[in-house]
Amino acid sequence: MILREEKTKIKRIEELKKKKRAVIIAHNYQLDIVQEIADITGDSLELARKASKAKAETIVFCGVRFMAETSAIISPDKTVLLPVLEADCPLARMITVPQLKTLKKKHPQAGVASYVNSSAKIKAESDICCTSSNAITVVNALPHKEILFVPDKNLGRYVSAYTAKKVILCKGFCPTHALLKASEIVKVKKDHPRAEFIAHPECVPEVLALADYVCSTAGMFKYARETKVKELIIGTEGGMLYPLRKENPDKKFYLASPVLICPNMKLITLDKIIEALEEGKYQIKVEESIRKPAYEALQRMLEVS
Q: Is 216 in the site for ligand 13P (CB under 6 A)?
A: yes
Interacting positions 26-55 with ligand 13P (CB under 6 A): 28, 43-44
The stretch among 2-10, 68-76, 128-136, 247-255 that binds ligand 13P (CB under 6 A) is 128-136
225 contacts 247 by C-beta, under 8 angstroms:
yes
Q: Is 202 in the site for ligand 13P (CB under 6 A)?
A: yes
Cβ closer to ligand 13P: 13 or 48? 48
Closest CA to 128 of 107, 149, 146: 149
The stretch among 71-79, 129-137, 189-197, 293-301 that binds ligand 13P (CB under 6 A) is 129-137
**Candidate list 35, 41, 126, 131; residue touching ligand 13P; CB under 6 A:** 131
**Candidate list 71, 119, 134, 217; residue touching ligand 13P; CB under 6 A:** 217
135 contacts 165 by C-beta, under 8 angstroms:
no
Closest CA to 150 of 178, 175, 180, 119: 119
The rounded distance, in Å, linking the Cα atoms of 130 and 139 is 8
The rounded distance, in Å, linking the Cα atoms of 43 and 136 is 16
The rounded distance, in Å, linking the Cα atoms of 119 and 99 is 13
Q: Is 79 in the site for ligand 13P (CB under 6 A)?
A: no
C-beta of 265: minimal distance to ligand 13P in Å? Answer: 8
The rounded distance, in Å, linking the Cα atoms of 144 and 75 is 29
- Please report which residue ranges of the chain form alpha helices under DSSP H: 4-20, 32-37, 44-53, 65-74, 97-106, 120-124, 135-141, 153-160, 182-191, 205-208, 217-226, 241-247, 270-279, 288-304
**Candidate list 58, 70, 119, 132; residue touching ligand 13P; CB under 6 A:** 132
Q: Is 152 in the site for ligand 13P (CB under 6 A)?
A: no
C-beta of 167: minimal distance to ligand 13P in Å? Answer: 19
Site string for ligand 13P, 103-122 (x = CB under 6 A): --------------x-----
The rounded distance, in Å, linking the Cα atoms of 152 and 157 is 9
Q: Is 134 in the site for ligand 13P (CB under 6 A)?
A: no
The stretch among 18-26, 127-135, 266-274, 282-290 that binds ligand 13P (CB under 6 A) is 127-135
Query: How distant, in Å, are the alpha carbons of 9, 258, 267, 270, 271 from that of 277?
Result: 12, 33, 16, 11, 10
The rounded distance, in Å, linking the Cα atoms of 139 and 211 is 22
Cβ closer to ligand 13P: 43 or 125? 43
Cβ closer to ligand 13P: 141 or 261? 261
149 contacts 159 by C-beta, under 8 angstroms:
yes
The conformation of residue 283, written as its DSSP 8-state character, comes to: B
Cβ closer to ligand 13P: 160 or 216? 216
The stretch among 9-17, 74-82, 131-139, 297-305 that binds ligand 13P (CB under 6 A) is 131-139
The stretch among 125-133, 163-171, 187-195, 296-304 that binds ligand 13P (CB under 6 A) is 125-133
Q: Is 174 in the site for ligand 13P (CB under 6 A)?
A: yes
Footprint on this chain of ligand 13P (rule: CB under 6 A): 28, 43-44, 117, 131-133, 174, 202, 216-217
